[in-house]
Amino acid sequence: MVIKNLKTGENYSLKEDEMFEPGSLYKIWLMATVFQQIQMDELEETDILSQDIKVLNEEFQIDEEAAELTEGSIEMSVSSALSQMISISHNYAALLLAEKVGNSKISQFLKDYGFIHSALGQPPKTSALDIALF
């Protein structure tokens, strides 16, 4: 746990380096990486992302029994995917974005910004300290 008083700058932390599975919090890393790619002109907000649901489920090792979707395809712009991923935690919007930018760029973002307790993987890992730093 990490608590910071934004008025005084005072901090309190407990087991701040302890690793845990971040659930959908990994999407903030993805969001930041996508914005970085947009700023570097490697990605446009109007770019269209599309993929078959089965391909996404296989690529990201999502078991068919646990998958939210199992058939069809999904298509949306980068801008729409970002919006849906952050506002409603849309998992397939996140998968489209992750497929587009690649795990190596997300991992590089974590390294570049000093998130030493955070890593992609199955499952991703992070710490309260890294989330507070973000």
Q: How much is the pLDDT for 112?
A: 96
Taking each helix axis from N to C end, the angle separating 103-112 and 26-39, rounded to the nearest 10 degrees, works out to 90
Q: Are 21 and 123 in contact (CB under 8 A)?
A: yes
Average pLDDT over residues 30-48: 97
Residue 128 has pLDDT above 90, yes or no: yes
The rounded distance, in Å, linking the Cα atoms of 32 and 10 is 26
Per-residue model confidence (pLDDT) at position 44: 97
Binned at pLDDT 50, 70 and 90, residue 80 comes out as very high
Dihedral, CA of residue 22, residue 28, residue 34 and residue 35, to nearest 10: -160
Q: How many Å is the Cα radius of gyration of the chain?
A: 16
123 upstream amide cis, omega within 30 of 0: yes
Over the stretch 84-120, which tens digit does the pLDDT of each residue have?
999 999 999 999 999 999 999 999 999 999 999 999 8
Average pLDDT, the chain: 94
